[in-house]
Amino acid sequence: MFDLERAIKSWRSGLAKSPSLEDTYIAELEAVLGDEIAALVRGGMAEEEAFRQASADMGEVSTIGDEFKKVRRPGRTRFMPALIWNYLKVSGRKLKRQKAYSFVTIAGLTIGMASFLFIVLYCRFERSYDGFHRNEDRLYRVQNDRIYSARHDRSAGCTPGLGPALKEEFPEIAEFARLLNLSADSNTVSRTVGTEDNSESADRTIAFFERRIFFADPSFLRIFSFPLILGDVRAVLEEPDTAVLTESTARKYFRDENPLGQTITVTTRFGGHDYRVFGVCRDVPPNSHLRFDLLLSYRRLAALWPSTEEQPWSSNAFLTYLLLAPSVNPSALEAKFPLLVKKYSLDSAELKREFHLQPLRTIHLTSRLRFEPDVNGDIKTVRFLEIIGLFILLIAWVNAINLATTRSLQRGKEVCVRKTLGAERRQLARQFLLESVFHNVLALLLALGVVLAVLPAFSRLVGKPLLLDEFGGGWIWISLSILAGAILSGLYPAFVLSSFRPALALRGPAQGVLRGAALRKGLVLFQFATAILLIASTLIVGKQLAFMQNQDLGVDLDQTLVLKIPEVPGSDQSASLARVQMSGLASVRNAALSTSVPGREYSNAVSGIRRQSAAAEEAQQAFIIDVDDNYFQFFSIPLVCGRGFSRGYASDTGAVVINEEMVNVLGFESAEKALLQNVVLGGFGGDVVQVVGVVKNYHHLSLREKIEPVTYMPLSQPYFRRGYLLSLRIDARSIGVAISSITAKWREIFPGQPLEYSFLDDDFNSQYDIDKRFGQVFGLSSLLAILISCLGLFGLASFSAERRTREIGIRKVFGATIPEIAAMLAREFVQWVVLANLIAWPVAWVVMSRWLQRFAYRTTVGFETLAGAALLTLVIALTTVSFKAIKSAAANPVESIRCE
Amino acid sequence: MEWSSTMLYPVLRRLEKDGLVRSEWRVSDENRIRKYYVLTAQGRKELAAEKERWRSVQDALGKLWAPAEACE
């Protein structure tokens, strides 16, 4: 006998097994089942049959459970992997069908990403300096501060006694290493070959100028990681007559021979001496703040320059590096340095000393001391570029966002069809996001291709050997951040597009699209403001460069050839001989001999120069150049009063000429008052010299530096010498002839010695290479940023014109002319440019004024520069926009008014 | 997919959660309990909008299927 109650109960317990069915659902379903059965029974059906039919109508228990499951998790559509393929297919089709749009989007992203990658590569390289040393976190350089009453001198050069004293006083210091930089243009290294086994052939000398030579303590190679290829790190540089070469230097002199134990002759300002090669180390990596080609044993120095032992606290010329013991706190150690100053009585009436520790890794980007062994980078420039890189990437993404949202005209219909057929908003958003990621990935791959192809050229531009390996583990971060950017830049269009209501979008185009107008305008404003900022900055960098190069230096550099006189035995006589003989050549109009020429570092500095009548505390610092009797006349440096050096005066050995700045620094009221006054040279054993002349100030170094007080000493002074430079003024019309006759004469005077020459104006301008490079990188960045902005602008203009097709048609029918319509379309963009200027000007003003601060002689930001940038942006924007505007305006109104 | 009458109830649940319908249990004349659903004010608005949307989709598709005509 069929029991309806029991049958329903068992049906219900079947439902209860489904986890998605709550009791209230089951109760409701049970009520429905009951009603159904009652209706069937009322229609004359037996209870059993009625139950079967009604329960079958309700459906399978599992199906019911599934349906309710969807309700329990409202809105969560399942992720359908199968759809990804469809999305990609659609993305691919869009790429093909909307060629212009896809090109603009992907090109913008590619340019943006490639620029970003380049800048990241460069900045990572700059930040990677000295990171390759095993002990990089424990290595420090000592900064030697000398504080005078009127001057604070910060120097990388310390006295020779400092390193040993520090180690002795502070157990925190595990090891020290001193280096004396011999780098000068006139050092030569030579090797004589072919004598031993082959008596028939004459001696052959291999000789080159070597710039980067250092005397180094034996500990140097042990605490730094410049690995030896040949030789024993425990033994090298221990013996006084030993040397270590880098791999390339060794190859230069020894080709494939084993250089170990061989002899080279190194000629520096200390004369020529033989050294035995005891080691060959790997070439110094390009990201080392300290670069050398040849190391000589420090132990040799005591014999060559006895005062380094006898007076360990004079001569501030020794780079001093410290290896701290593990887990030593450098600031705590630094705080103890005054004890050392006190103990060794290093302070005097005229100066106070301070020592500071510079972490090795910070030297390249933050240190700007005197006696830096190499030109350092600049952390501000690196940060500046990093910000620019980020901005370019942002501009590219903003572009992509703008283009994607404006493209919704077409996409609206696709959205509606997908929605009508059951797609949910989340699915659509996912589709558009995926499309954005697809564009970004494609652009990233292209950008990588661009980077690979252009990297060698870019490396040359920035003057750094950049490699893709530079990224190291950074790849993951870069990929992740680009992916994050792709998703972020895809979110907004995805949100806008997926929110379309099918009914509205199908009815007409622009509905819904207009909603994002405010944001889009904001984004365009951002793009323009950035572009104006970059253009203005580029113009100002260019303006400053032009200012520096066109400024009157107060000295004549034209048609001047500079020759380095090699430090051979008797080079004093040879140099004078060379001057006399070279000036006798037909193509040489004038000649002068000196230890420095404009554009090169001063020969020397004295720390205690003062009037004889002044107290010792008033001593000042000055720079020294040794010059011959023709120097001032040769370089057209006018005398303010007195005379230059002359052979006619026997007393010239005790005479000096000073510049106007030196007159001020010494405290003379005027140049005339300084004349024939006695001056004490502190650093030179307290010698008294007489001022015989005052010359006008001129720019000896670049306009970055202010004009320093300079004391010119006659070349015959025996105090200190640092290689001679022979300047020759040659005939502009016969440079080739001049050079060949000079070369021939050179061979006579300096047989076997290399001849190196350069043009002085090139040399001088090469001081601006870093600035020029900065200008180029900057200009390139702005160019790219503008290009990307223009791509976006073009897209927006197309959108704007398209949206107003009918309006344009109607206006034309009522008599509007093409220029009027083009102007109407362009007006909107002009407004943006004007507004963007309001934002960009103050920023440019502040940022670039600060940048200019680093130059002692500088131009101003200037209203006209900013106005120029504004005008340039406006012209570029209008050109881009009018291309489309004129096309739309010229279209036949019949075409545009007729519905699409 | 096979349709069954029970599929309606999850949808009603969903509408109720979205605030478009309201429900209450009542006991019928035959002494059976039943759940009754009523459209809320918001539900009515949504219904009107959906009807409108559907009509325009229908129009659009209608135009699409119909032979090409001149624009009005």
Per the CB < 8 A criterion, the answer to whether A806 and A416 are in contact is no
A74 close contact with B: CB closer than 8 A: yes
Cross-chain residue pair A68–B5, CB shorter than 8 Å: no
CA-wise closest residue to A136 among A286, A296, A288: A288
User: pLDDT per residue over A310-319, tens digit each?
Assistant: 888 877 889 9
Mean of the per-residue pLDDT values of chain A: 83
A420 close contact with B: CB closer than 8 A: yes
B26 close contact with A: CB closer than 8 A: no
Average pLDDT, stretch A450-478?
A: 82
Distance from CA of B35 to the nearest CA of A (A): 7
Distance from CA of A5 to the nearest CA of B (A): 14
Q: Per the structure block, which two tokens stand in for A769?
A: 């290479």
> How far is A864 from A846, CA to CA, in rounded Å?
16
Cross-chain residue pair A59–B5, CB shorter than 8 Å: yes
Average pLDDT, stretch A314-332?
A: 91
Name the band, by pLDDT with cuts 50, 70 and 90, for residue B68: low
Q: Per the structure block, which two tokens stand in for A382?
A: 């690196």
The listed range with the strongest mean pLDDT (A399-403, A651-655, B35-39) is B35-39
A34 close contact with B: CB closer than 8 A: yes
Say yes or no to pLDDT of A378 above 50. yes
Average pLDDT, stretch A734-759?
A: 85
A503 close contact with B: CB closer than 8 A: yes
Distance from CA of B14 to the nearest CA of A (A): 6
What residues 42-61 of chain B have any CB closer than 8 A to a CB of chain A?
A: 49, 52-54, 56-57, 60
- Pick the residue from chain A with its C-alpha nearest to B57: A503
The listed range with the strongest mean pLDDT (A5-14, A191-200, A825-834) is A5-14
Minimum mean pLDDT range among A540-549, A610-619, A719-728, B30-39: A719-728
> Which residues on B lie below 8 Å from A898 (Cβ)?
71
Cross-chain residue pair A68–B35, CB shorter than 8 Å: no
Q: What is the pLDDT of residue B33?
A: 83
Q: What is the pLDDT of residue A508?
A: 52
Instruction: Quickly tell me which residue has 């489904």 as its tokens.
Output: A18
User: pLDDT per residue over A666-680, tens digit each?
Assistant: 889 999 999 989 988
> How far is A534 from A119, CA to CA, in rounded Å?
15
Cross-chain residue pair B10–A67, CB shorter than 8 Å: yes
Among candidates A38, A60, A507 on the partner chain, residue whose Cβ is nearest the Cβ of B56: A507
Q: What is the pLDDT of residue A61?
A: 76
Among candidates B5, B13, B57 on the partner chain, residue whose Cβ is nearest the Cβ of A71: B13
Q: What is the pLDDT of residue A334?
A: 94
B63 close contact with A: CB closer than 8 A: no
Say yes or no to pLDDT of A900 above 50. no
Name the band, by pLDDT with cuts 50, 70 and 90, for residue A177: very high
Cross-chain residue pair A38–B30, CB shorter than 8 Å: yes
Among candidates B6, B57, B71 on the partner chain, residue whose Cβ is nearest the Cβ of A898: B71
Residue ranges in B20-65 assigned as alpha helix (H): 41-65
A35 close contact with B: CB closer than 8 A: yes
Average pLDDT, stretch B39-44?
A: 92
The listed range with the strongest mean pLDDT (A142-156, A438-452, A477-491, A744-758) is A438-452
Q: What is the pLDDT of residue A200?
A: 46
A59 close contact with B: CB closer than 8 A: yes
> Which residues on B lie below 8 Å from A71 (Cβ)?
10-11, 13-14, 17
> Which residues on B lie below 8 Å from A502 (Cβ)?
53, 56-57
- Pick the residue from chain A with its C-alpha nearest to B32: A31
In total, the C-beta contacts within 8 angstroms joining chain A to chain B are 72
Q: What is the pLDDT of residue A695?
A: 94
Cross-chain residue pair A74–B53, CB shorter than 8 Å: no
Within 8 A by CB and 6+ apart from A260, the residues are: A230, A231, A277, A278, A279, A280
Q: What is the pLDDT of residue A767?
A: 84
Cross-chain residue pair B6–A32, CB shorter than 8 Å: yes
> Which residues on B lie below 8 Å from A35 (Cβ)?
32, 34
> How far is A334 from A169, CA to CA, in rounded Å?
12
Q: Per the structure block, which two tokens stand in for A678?
A: 């006695």
CA-wise closest residue to A820 among A889, A893, A894: A889
Q: What is the pLDDT of residue B70?
A: 42
Among candidates A29, A35, A899 on the partner chain, residue whose Cβ is nearest the Cβ of B6: A29
Distance from CA of B67 to the nearest CA of A (A): 16
> How far is A112 from A99, CA to CA, in rounded Å?
19
User: pLDDT per residue over A201-211, tens digit each?
Assistant: 456 788 888 88
Name the band, by pLDDT with cuts 50, 70 and 90, for residue A329: very high
Minimum mean pLDDT range among A163-177, A724-738, B56-70: B56-70
What Cα–Cα distance (Å) separates residue A810 from each residue in A511, A585, A700, A815?
20, 84, 70, 9
Q: What is the pLDDT of residue A262?
A: 92
> Which residues on A lie below 8 Å from B4 (Cβ)?
57-60, 63-64
Architecture per CATH, domain B5-65, reads as Orthogonal Bundle (1.10)
- Pick the residue from chain B with its C-alpha nearest to A507: B56
> How far is A505 from A462, CA to CA, in rounded Å?
51
Distance from CA of A499 to the nearest CA of B (A): 14
DSSP string for residues in A481-509: HHHHHHHHHHHHHHHHHHT--HHHHHH-S
Average pLDDT, stretch A178-195?
A: 78
Among candidates A31, A63, A507 on the partner chain, residue whose Cβ is nearest the Cβ of B34: A31
User: pLDDT per residue over A779-823, tens digit each?
Assistant: 888 888 888 888 877 777 777 777 777 788 888 888 888 888 878
DSSP designation for A750: S
- Pick the residue from chain A with its C-alpha nearest to B55: A503
Say yes or no to pLDDT of A600 above 60. yes
Average pLDDT, stretch A177-198?
A: 75
> Which residues on A lie below 8 Å from B58 (Cβ)?
none
Say yes or no to pLDDT of B3 above 80. no
Q: What is the pLDDT of residue A781?
A: 82
Q: What is the pLDDT of residue A235?
A: 87
CA-wise closest residue to A352 among A116, A153, A551, A523: A153
Q: Per the structure block, which two tokens stand in for A557?
A: 């550099």
Q: What is the pLDDT of residue A587?
A: 87
Within 8 A by CB and 6+ apart from A60, the residues are: B4
What whole-number percentage of chain A has pLDDT above 90? 25
Distance from CA of A536 to the nearest CA of B (A): 52
Residue A590 C-beta-side C-alpha neighbours within 13 Å = 17
Among candidates B7, B17, B56 on the partner chain, residue whose Cβ is nearest the Cβ of A74: B17
CA-wise closest residue to A148 among A315, A355, A351: A351
Name the band, by pLDDT with cuts 50, 70 and 90, for residue A595: confident
Cross-chain residue pair A68–B9, CB shorter than 8 Å: yes
Cross-chain residue pair A71–B35, CB shorter than 8 Å: no
Distance from CA of B18 to the nearest CA of A (A): 9
Average pLDDT, stretch A101-117?
A: 88
User: pLDDT per residue over A13-41, tens digit each?
Assistant: 888 888 778 788 888 888 888 888 989 99
Among candidates B33, B57, B71 on the partner chain, residue whose Cβ is nearest the Cβ of A502: B57
Q: What is the pLDDT of residue A199?
A: 46
3-state percent helix, strand, coil for chain B, nearest multiple of 5: 55, 20, 30
Say yes or no to pLDDT of A292 above 80. yes
Among candidates A60, A71, A416 on the partner chain, residue whose Cβ is nearest the Cβ of B10: A71
> How far is A474 from A258, CA to CA, in rounded Å?
40
Name the band, by pLDDT with cuts 50, 70 and 90, for residue A722: low
Q: What is the pLDDT of residue A166?
A: 95
Say yes or no to pLDDT of A71 above 70. no
CA-wise closest residue to A422 among A78, A774, A114: A78
A21 close contact with B: CB closer than 8 A: no
- Pick the residue from chain B with its C-alpha nearest to A57: B4
> Which residues on A lie below 8 Å from B53 (Cβ)?
501-503
Average pLDDT, stretch A94-100?
A: 75
Minimum mean pLDDT range among A98-102, A264-268, A347-351, A716-720: A716-720
DSSP string for residues in A97-121: HSHHHHHHHHHHHHHHHHHHHHHHH
User: pLDDT per residue over A506-515, tens digit each?
Assistant: 555 444 445 5
Distance from CA of B27 to the nearest CA of A (A): 10
Name the band, by pLDDT with cuts 50, 70 and 90, for residue A487: confident
What ranges do the domains of chain A cover?
Answer: 4-72, 139-366, 379-549+769-897, 560-765
Cross-chain residue pair B6–A67, CB shorter than 8 Å: yes
User: pLDDT per residue over A840-869, tens digit each?
Assistant: 999 999 989 988 988 889 998 888 888 888
Average pLDDT, stretch A205-234?
A: 90
Q: What is the pLDDT of residue A251?
A: 93
Average pLDDT, stretch B9-32?
A: 85
DSSP string for residues in A48-107: HHHHHHHHHHH--HHHHHHHHHHHHSTT-PPP-HHHHHHHHHHHHHHHHHSHHHHHHHHH
Q: What is the pLDDT of residue A507?
A: 54
Q: What is the pLDDT of residue A892?
A: 75
Average pLDDT, stretch A563-590?
A: 82
Instruction: Quickly tell me which residue has 């000896």 as its tokens.
Output: A700
Q: What is the pLDDT of residue A689?
A: 87
Say yes or no to pLDDT of A473 above 90. no
Say yes or no to pLDDT of B71 above 50. no
> Which residues on A lie below 8 Å from B32 (Cβ)?
31, 34-35, 38
Cross-chain residue pair A68–B52, CB shorter than 8 Å: no
Best to test chain A binding among B1, B3, B13 (most A CBs inside 10 Å): B13
Average pLDDT, stretch A101-128?
A: 88
Minimum mean pLDDT range among A47-51, A410-414, A816-820, A884-888: A410-414
User: pLDDT per residue over A355-371, tens digit each?
Assistant: 999 999 999 999 988 78
- Pick the residue from chain A with its C-alpha nearest to B33: A31
A274 close contact with B: CB closer than 8 A: no
Q: What is the pLDDT of residue A565?
A: 83
CA-wise closest residue to A869 among A563, A531, A465: A531
